[in-house]
Structure 1
Amino acid sequence: MPYSSLLPDVIRVADEASAKVLRIYQSDFKVSYKEDESPITAADVASHEIIVKGLHNISRDIPILSEEGAQAPWEERRHWRRFWLVDPIDGTKEFTQRTGEFTVNIALIEDGEPVMGVVTAPALKEAFWGIKGEGAHKRDRSGRIHRIRVAEPQATKRVVASKNHMNDETRTFIKALGAHKTLQAGSSLKFCRIAEGHADIYPRMGPTSEWDTAAAHAVLLAAGGNVHTLEGKPLEYGKEDVLNPYFIAAGNWYF
């Protein structure tokens, strides 16, 4: 089945999850903590349930890996050529801090590559999606949909980073770029800001998991950008260890 035939239904599922997330965000929600001390709220759980149910209705034959779901063992996952990769809320810290910079993320992975992705930012009323070889789009606050593309190379690089994850390695990398200005963004929106041409490069010298990056990675690929490890290899998905290596996301001018 062509990816484009799946996309409208995936956007609908993401929008449904986003609406529920936004209602909880606007309420007096409680914050709990998982074993790894990362925060979780009722919004994470509700979004997960809506997305999993929606994706099963779209394609019962495609397995789902979600941050908030039971993890299938590697012996099962290793045979998945195609699967959905879901982060019900990326940027739970941004959610609990009420910055608005959190996202709902759904990606389709095929042979280790994110071939389709949908990213919604419920509090910002923005959405992004992209399909491999077919381009990327943004739906803005007014509901208008327009095509997006990475920016051409600029003398002063616009580096997008996060206050919550800045460290010495990242600062060293940014300094080596030369003339630059730093923009702040949370969650997977950092990829999306590059995809729409508002930023140029996002270095991540810290831990992330596959579900944190996959959907926005797909959007960036569709918009003409790329994501490589520090060794220059494309960031891949469907590994035994779901942790990502350090990576750099940018327009193709960098690679």
Structure 2
Amino acid sequence: MLNQICQIARLAGSVIMKFYHAEKLIDVSYKSDNTPITNVDCEANNIIKKELLSITPQIPIISEEEIYNFDICRHWNDYWLIDPLDGTKEFLKKNGEFTVNISLIKDGMPVLGVIYAPFFDVLYSSYHKESWKEKKLGFKENIKVSKSKISTFITSRSHPDKELKNYLDGVESYKIKRLGSSLKFCLVAEGTAQIYPRFGETYIWDTAAGHALVVASGGIVKTWKGSDLNYCLSSRSSFLNPGFYASA
């Protein structure tokens, strides 16, 4: 099934790239939290939902691009969690740092994760304790987290955390890199970066695929209180995440 999910991510990515290179204007509106949504997000969402339903019609889907009754969702133990176009701001800026995110949640934890960066044509995938990076279609390599004497901190390009500066003040030696979308998780998973600290607001669809990838690569994703970042909806009051960090 992982291969099928990778194909779905690539399909959605190919549609996104058609809009990315098109000369016609993209329709942009804004959600209640002032984040942008475009017709491209919706096109990718429709493709992913249709394909997932054809593979696993019995598993419900939660997408960033739709509205749900949380009281109904909280009874789901297993569900698909998708962000059809993660990094819409980066897509609109034309910097290439956007992804397609698909993950499978079982009993509150992401067990399968796929992140596709269509601009760079790089696909990351994981299932349980194995993870891969595919730079060219058909050529996959296993990836693992990597520790370093001088850690590279990977932080958000478009969502600066107010508490991040205070956190970094307590770190002696480090390098810092800013990046959009869930690619931040990917760099931790492949060993290019060591820590992705996040204090600002995120939702479960922002993190699940990256979470699966980091853990499968030998890393951890924890809240600042020390517990695993969890996707069990019955123990939540909303789709919002607490602050967390992903690290080697």
Offset, 1:62: 0.4
The alignment partner of 1:224 has SS state of coil
**1:177-234 superposed Cα distances (whole Å, 9 cap, x missing partner):** 2100001211100000000010000100100000001011111111111110000000
Deviation at 1:141, TM superposition (A): 4.7
Q: Residue 143 and residue 175 in structure 1: after superposition, are their counterparts in 2 closer, same or farther (change >3 A)?
A: farther
Q: Distance in 2 between matches of 1:168 and 1:76?
A: 34
Aligned-residue offset at 1:240:
3.2
The one-letter code matched in structure 1 to 2:113 is: G
> Following the alignment from structure 1 to structure 2, what is the Cα–Cα distance between the partners of residues 163 and 13?
27
Q: Does 1:51 align with 2:48?
A: yes
Match of 1:85 in 2: 81
Identical positions, percent: 41
Opposite residue 37 of structure 2, the aligned amino acid is: I
1:139 aligns with 2:134: yes
In structure 1, list runs of 5 or more residues that go unmatched: 1-5
Q: Say whether residues 1:160 and 2:157 are aligned partners.
A: no
- Asked if the contact 1:160–1:201 (Cα under 8 Å) also holds between the matched residues in 2, the reply is yes
What corresponds to 1:3 in structure 2? none
Q: Which residue of 1 aligns with 2:117?
A: 121
CA distance in 2, matches of 1:154, 1:177: 14
Q: What is the correspondence of 1:75-114 to structure 2 with a 5 Å cutoff?
A: 75-114=71-110
TM norm structure 1 = 0.92
d(CA) in 1 for partners of 2:4 and 2:144?
A: 23
CA RMSD of aligned residues (A): 1.3
Structure 1 runs of 4+ aligned residues shifted over 4 Å read none
Letter of the 2:142 partner, please give it. Answer: R
What corresponds to 2:58 in structure 1?
61
Q: Is the 8 A contact 1:14 1:106 kept in 2?
A: yes
1:184 aligns with 2:181: no
> Which residue identity does 1:19 align to in structure 2?
S
CA change 1:62–1:97 in 2 (3 A) is same
Q: Which residue of 2 aligns with 1:205?
A: 199
**5+ residue gaps, structure 2:** none
Aligned length: 243
CA contact (8 A) 1:67 1:86 kept: yes
Displacement of 1:142 in angstroms is 6.7
Q: Bigger CA drift: 193-202 or 238-247? A: 238-247
TM-score between the two structures when normalised by the length of structure 2 = 0.94
What CA distance in whole angstroms lies between the structure 1 residues aligned with 2:29 and 2:36?
Answer: 6
SS of equivalent to 1:231: coil
Q: Is the 8 A contact 1:203 1:247 kept in 2?
A: yes
Aligned-partner Cα distance in 2 for 1:126–1:226: 23
Q: Report deviation, 1:143.
A: 5.5
What is aligned with 1:174?
168
Counterpart position of 2:239: 242
* Contact 2:131/2:213 (<8 A) preserved: yes
